A and B are shown apart, each in its own frame.
Chain A
Amino acid sequence: MSEAGPAVRSDRSTIRVPEPAARLLPQPTYHTRTWLLWLLAAGLAALLTGSPGNPLYLTLIILAARGVDAAAVAFEQATMPAGDADSRRHGWSGFLRLGLVLAGLSALFNGLAAHQGATVLAQLPDEWPIVGGPLTLEALVYGALAGLALVTVLIVAGTFNTGADTYALLRAIPAFLSQAGLVTAIGLAYVPQTIVRVREIHEAQQLRGHRFRGPGSLLPLAVPLLAGGLERAIQLAEAMESRGFSRSAPAGDARERATAGRGVRLLLALGTAGVGLGAFLMLYFRQAPAGGGALLGAGLLALGGALFRLGRLSRHTRYRREIWRRRDSLVTAPLLVSCGGTLGIWASHAGWWAYTPYPALYWPPFEPWIGLSLALLAAPALPLLGLVRAAREPDPAASDAVTAAAEKEARC
């Protein structure tokens, strides 16, 4: 642009632009695929441990997640430009607090409502509906463990949420869903702004003498938020439109487009028919569902193909390309082992996972193989902590060269 001037377009020039070397900043913790693998491994473990769940395993998963989260936070603080790091770092403690509240409530309800168990703590009058009867330690523990299982799932989700780059994740979804993903991403980008705005409005109305006096008094808070939100939504839509967002005209010339369009329509029609007929056949011939199932599968494939073709027809391209780093490869192996181990043990020794405090409370069993498999979930923490430590050492040459560059850039 500088050499050509704005009037001269250089799009079609033959200047060769080399593929880039890895960009140094901003450096994500891991590739989105690595994070997805971690989510799969940890989520699988959390779900298979189940509800009520062996508290030892659940605690192990929570500890692993905590370690990964802490390492990711430390890494981002070390690499992010100054002032940037704190912007989305409130997730974990919030998830934990929510989880604890849920576990407490769960223990309370189950303890009051379930009257099984050997260890009777108190006897509530029988004439009380629902809560009447013996109050047992086992019922309380069962409720708490069910809560703990829920907490574990929440914490796994929370760690993934703070670690993985949501925007990258949404942009990484397949092309035929990319518009939907983009719209979601834009919506998410407005969340921090909205939080700030809510606070501003609340403060301003409070200073105007506004007090909370029932649902009606939400109006002075809600209306400015919505009105402001609407106004900004219109301006955002204008800005997107001005930058060619709706320019989804397919690539290629008109005839090519027409042919491609016919192909997509055919696939869509066949797919829909296949899914409908297949489902019907499966339900009708319950004894031999194989044929119907195959038809259903083929229909789904055709639909997927149609959507894929549609995605290819869009002329939008993608700028962001994630980089698969050495540390991604390093942690992939243990995560795969963890995944496989968890599934393998579940398939061969399903009984190893089971734990229930009924009829009488007993110390939960601990299988070392399961423990090992769950401990591997903490693997992503190690390379990050190594990098953070290297960055803190005075010798910049040893520090992955990244953080030094980050700090330099932040100072500029």
Chain B
Amino acid sequence: MLIAIDHLTYTYPGAATPALHDVQLHVEEGEFLLLAGESGAGKSTLLRALNGLVPHFYGGQIGGRVRVAGHDPVAEGTAALSAIVGLVFQDPEAQVVADTVEDELAFAMENAGLPPALMRKRIAEVIDQLSIAALRGRRLSSLSGGERQRVAIGAVLTLQPRVLALDEPTSQLDPQAAEEVLDTLVKLNKDLGLTIVLSEHRLERVVQHVDRIAYLYPPGTPPAIRTGPPGNLLATMPLAPPLVEVARALGWHPIPLNLKDARRFLAQDPRFPGGRVVSRQSSVVSDEPVGSRQKAVGSGDEGLGVGGWGLGNDSPITDPPGPNPQSPIQNPKSADEGAGSEEQGSASMQSKIQNPKSKIQLRLDGVWFAYGGREALRGLSLEARPGEVLALMGRNGAGKTTVLKLLVGLLKPSQGRVLIDGHDTRRLALAAIVRQVGYVPQRPDVLLFADTVREELAFTRTNHGLAPAGPAVAALLAQLHLSGYGDRDPQNLSAGERQRVALAAILAAEPGAVLLDEPTRGLDYRQKAALSAILRALADAGRTIVLATHDVELAAQLADRVALLDDGQVIVEGPAREVMAGSLVFASQVNKLFRDPRLLTAADVRDYLARAPA
């Protein structure tokens, strides 16, 4: 038994309730353990207990017993445990100590007092193991996030720890970089037998590689933790990747962990003869023309039925936290019925905030743009319409963020035109543009500064000459599930909540169009679903929504249209279902399984089952 945690209870200093309560966890040498659980369940705290950061760095009260390779982190302290447990953190920028990659790799060994000759040998080995030879002489400031994370892993491996513990190492990375990091971990575990404890929310990438999953429940609800092989645990885990949700909906058991296994189930499933969606039933599915997920604003009669498409709002699993799953924010019309509205305020208030003053159409017309001498956009044309969600996808450096910055007038095209409702941005003042077009940056942290959520919103509104408070603000908070949060300090909220506060701070100006850069970075499945439902409601109310995202599942769930960008040009643009189903890289997991444009998300599959004749 390499790690033995028994009856671990820990309370942060000043906290009323424990962050961990009576946690049991045993890990064998060479195991690859996935630590899952909702945000706030204590995953980070548990990982920090492995090397003594909890309680030595944070203070607080600890009870129970922790042993790692026979050592007691509570008694021996973090520094002494550095040679036993290598801990890698979330933010690739915040764990860098040195200027160059090689110095970074050497840092832990310098602290341990290893002789220089041995350091050189270890560094050479680690560089080979992690395949980072090309980075060796580079400056850390010039590395991408994924490269930095791999260097961070290398920097703890040089001490040859017995356990590698990682706290959401990919949450700040784009999918390609995340995959590189996870591949590295799989290789370390398989080739070297290194014991790995990983907390991660991109479950779809890792469940097929891990030996066991430990699911941590928020404290206060026994059992504190459940462990087991992935196939068993995934069947009941509250947060699950799309493929697992499909398997659950279809009753496949044991839960297939990768596409290959899932295809085997699919081939034998009588509901899908030949592994295909039956064409007889297609009348059920294709009532809606392919790709037209959006509905005419205000045509609420068909709303709820179609709203089920892609939103997942009928599932208890992906639902935003809130007492009523059939939340009226899904559909502006249903708010008028007033049925089931929680703390949402009156229906009139609701429609007031939901219907923007003006509908904004955004257009790029043959736009060229260069940073210094480097061309970022080359004759790009694109249109975003009111009531529609447009997702910009593509590799890093494809030009997604540049497009957003052009649309909000921060950059001006060198050739071509950017039109906001027909007006050229070159002739508009920035102040005039930002009243119409809201921009939510990648990190909500760069926006939030006030002491309370309410002040945050008031700041935006006074900037735009609006009354700082009023019924519209209350309605907005309700719409973003922030009703009880008005007086909370944004700095103390979770990542998902802060993302929503940032969105609220932008929406407070009542813009007709909202641009979002990577809105789901760092969010778990549940938070993502909540955000996507909110954005859907905003679009349905007539706003123009443009997302730049790497998140295939988000685009599958939410987007009406998708534009794939590459090298500063649009390579494909069209209805989400058609574009995403035809793509190798940008197809959702569910779509890769069914290979049918009508089934992009788990919700699509559930919907299909519900409508299919028995």
Q: How far is the CB of B488 from chain A (nearest CB, A)?
A: 15
Give the complex CA separation of A239 and B156 in angstroms. Answer: 10
Give the complex CA separation of A166 and B139 in angstroms. Answer: 13
Kindly report which residue of chain B lies nearest to residue A236, judged by CB atoms: B94
> Number of B residues contacting the other chain (C-beta, 8 Å)?
94
Q: Mark B387-420, 1 if CB is under 8 A from A, else 0.
A: 0000000000000000000001010000000000
Task: Name the one of A224, A319, A409 contacting B103, with C-beta atoms under 8 angstroms.
Answer: A319
Kindly report which residue of chain B lies nearest to residue A240, judged by CB atoms: B97
Interface membership of B12, Cβ < 8 A:
no
Interface membership of B289, Cβ < 8 A:
no
> What residues on B are CB-neighbors of A166 within 8 Å?
99
Interface membership of A59, Cβ < 8 A:
no
> What residues on A are CB-neighbors of B94 within 8 Å?
231-233, 235-236, 239
- Contact A317 B116, CB 8 Å, known A208-B447, A209-B460: yes
A17 with B118: CB separation less than 8 A: yes
- Contact A243 B89, CB 8 Å, known A185-B99, A193-B141, A236-B95: no
Q: How far is the CB of A342 from chain B (nearest CB, A)?
A: 33
Most chain B CB neighbours (cut-off 10 Å) among A192, A211, A244: A244
> What residues on A are CB-neighbors of B29 within 8 Å?
7
Give the complex CA separation of A339 and B459 in angstroms. Answer: 60
- Contact A192 B434, CB 8 Å, known A19-B117, A232-B94: no
Q: How far is the CB of A21 from chain B (nearest CB, A)?
A: 11
Give the complex CA separation of A228 and B445 in angstroms. Answer: 7
Interface membership of A56, Cβ < 8 A:
no
Task: Name the one of B119, B152, B446 contacting A224, with C-beta atoms under 8 angstroms.
Answer: B446
Interface membership of A96, Cβ < 8 A:
no
Interface membership of B74, Cβ < 8 A:
no
Interface membership of B463, Cβ < 8 A:
yes
Task: Name the one of B89, B114, B156, B509 contacting A317, with C-beta atoms under 8 angstroms.
Answer: B114
A247 with B112: CB separation less than 8 A: yes
> What residues on B are CB-neighbors of A87 within 8 Å?
139, 141-142
Interface membership of A316, Cβ < 8 A:
yes
B142 with A83: CB separation less than 8 A: yes
B445 with A319: CB separation less than 8 A: no
> What residues on A are CB-neighbors of B157 within 8 Å?
1
Task: Name the one of A186, A197, A247, A317 contacting B79, with C-beta atoms under 8 angstroms.
Answer: A247
Q: Using a CB-CB cutoff of 8 Å, which residues 199-240 of chain A contact chain B? A: 200-201, 203-211, 219-224, 227-228, 231-233, 235-240
Q: How far is the CB of A309 from chain B (nearest CB, A)?
A: 17
Interface membership of A25, Cβ < 8 A:
yes
Interface membership of A241, Cβ < 8 A:
yes
A319 with B193: CB separation less than 8 A: no
> What residues on A are CB-neighbors of B99 within 8 Å?
165-167, 185, 188-189
Task: Name the one of B114, B139, B160 contacting A84, with C-beta atoms under 8 angstroms.
Answer: B139
Q: How far is the CB of A228 from chain B (nearest CB, A)?
A: 5
- Contact A243 B410, CB 8 Å, known A185-B99, A319-B106: no
B447 with A204: CB separation less than 8 A: yes
Give the complex CA separation of A188 and B99 in angstroms. Answer: 9
A220 with B87: CB separation less than 8 A: no
A320 with B103: CB separation less than 8 A: yes
Interface membership of B608, Cβ < 8 A:
no
A228 with B446: CB separation less than 8 A: yes
A211 with B192: CB separation less than 8 A: no
Give the complex CA separation of A238 and B121 in angstroms. Answer: 26
Give the complex CA separation of A221 and B446 in angstroms. Answer: 8
Interface membership of A5, Cβ < 8 A:
yes
Interface membership of B209, Cβ < 8 A:
no
Interface membership of B294, Cβ < 8 A:
no
Interface membership of B57, Cβ < 8 A:
yes
Give the complex CA separation of A185 and B106 in angstroms. Answer: 15
Q: Mark A103-143, 1 if CB is under 8 A from B, else 0.
A: 00000000000000000000000000000000000000000
- Contact A5 B192, CB 8 Å, known A193-B141, A242-B53: yes
> What residues on B are CB-neighbors of A219 within 8 Å?
449
> Number of A residues contacting the other chain (C-beta, 8 Å)?
74
Q: How far is the CB of B450 from chain A (nearest CB, A)?
A: 8
A242 with B51: CB separation less than 8 A: yes
- Contact A186 B78, CB 8 Å, known A2-B192, A211-B463, A317-B114: no
A317 with B137: CB separation less than 8 A: no
> What residues on B are CB-neighbors of A409 within 8 Å?
133-134, 136-137
A242 with B431: CB separation less than 8 A: no
Task: Name the one of B95, B118, B155, B448 contacting A235, with C-beta atoms under 8 angstroms.
Answer: B95
Interface membership of B443, Cβ < 8 A:
yes
Q: Using a CB-CB cutoff of 8 Å, which residues 150-205 of chain A contact chain B? A: 165-167, 171, 185-186, 188-189, 192-193, 197, 200-201, 203-205
Kindly report which residue of chain A lies nearest to residue B193, judged by CB atoms: A5
Give the complex CA separation of A240 and B96 in angstroms. Answer: 9
A11 with B133: CB separation less than 8 A: no
A193 with B93: CB separation less than 8 A: yes
Give the complex CA separation of A196 and B121 in angstroms. Answer: 35
Give the complex CA separation of A37 and B469 in angstroms. Answer: 64
Q: Using a CB-CB cutoff of 8 Å, which residues 336-370 of chain B contact chain A? A: none
> What residues on B are CB-neighbors of A410 within 8 Å?
134
B446 with A317: CB separation less than 8 A: no
Interface membership of A6, Cβ < 8 A:
yes
Most chain A CB neighbours (cut-off 10 Å) among B85, B100, B110, B460: B110
Of B123-131, B178-186, B578-586, which stretch is located at the interface? B123-131
- Contact A209 B463, CB 8 Å, known A201-B446, A203-B410: yes
Give the complex CA separation of A203 and B430 in angstroms. Answer: 11
Interface membership of B145, Cβ < 8 A:
no
- Contact A223 B449, CB 8 Å, known A9-B160, A239-B97, A319-B116: yes
Q: How far is the CB of B314 from chain A (nearest CB, A)?
A: 35
B138 with A84: CB separation less than 8 A: yes
B459 with A7: CB separation less than 8 A: no
Interface membership of A26, Cβ < 8 A:
yes
A243 with B111: CB separation less than 8 A: yes
B435 with A209: CB separation less than 8 A: yes
A242 with B82: CB separation less than 8 A: yes
> What residues on B are CB-neighbors of A204 within 8 Å?
439, 441, 446-447
Kindly report which residue of chain B lies nearest to residue A220, judged by CB atoms: B449
Interface membership of B216, Cβ < 8 A:
no
Interface membership of A412, Cβ < 8 A:
yes
> What residues on A are CB-neighbors of B138 within 8 Å?
26, 81, 84
A1 with B446: CB separation less than 8 A: no
A235 with B82: CB separation less than 8 A: no
Give the complex CA separation of A410 and B439 in angstroms. Answer: 36
> What residues on A are CB-neighbors of B449 within 8 Å?
219-224, 227
B137 with A316: CB separation less than 8 A: no
Q: How far is the CB of A238 from chain B (nearest CB, A)?
A: 6
Task: Name the one of A18, A189, A197, A207 contacting B96, with C-beta atoms under 8 angstroms.
Answer: A189
A1 with B116: CB separation less than 8 A: no
Give the complex CA separation of A227 and B456 in angstroms. Answer: 15
- Contact A6 B193, CB 8 Å, known A224-B448, A238-B89: yes
Contact surface of A with B, Cβ cutoff 8 Å:
1-2, 5-7, 9, 11, 17-20, 25-26, 81, 83-84, 87, 165-167, 171, 185-186, 188-189, 192-193, 197, 200-201, 203-211, 219-224, 227-228, 231-233, 235-247, 251, 315-321, 409-410, 412
25 A-B pairs with C-beta separation under 8 A: A2-B129, A17-B121, A25-B136, A26-B138, A83-B142, A167-B100, A197-B446, A200-B443, A201-B446, A206-B410, A209-B431, A222-B449, A224-B447, A227-B491, A235-B95, A239-B89, A239-B94, A242-B82, A243-B97, A243-B111, A315-B113, A316-B111, A318-B116, A319-B116, A320-B102
Known: A1-B122, A189-B96, A244-B112. 10 other contacts (CB 8 A): A1-B160, A188-B99, A200-B443, A206-B410, A209-B460, A220-B459, A236-B96, A236-B97, A243-B156, A244-B111
A-B interface, 7 closest residue pairs, ranked by CB to CB distance from nearest:
A209-B463, A319-B106, A244-B82, A223-B449, A315-B113, A239-B95, A26-B137
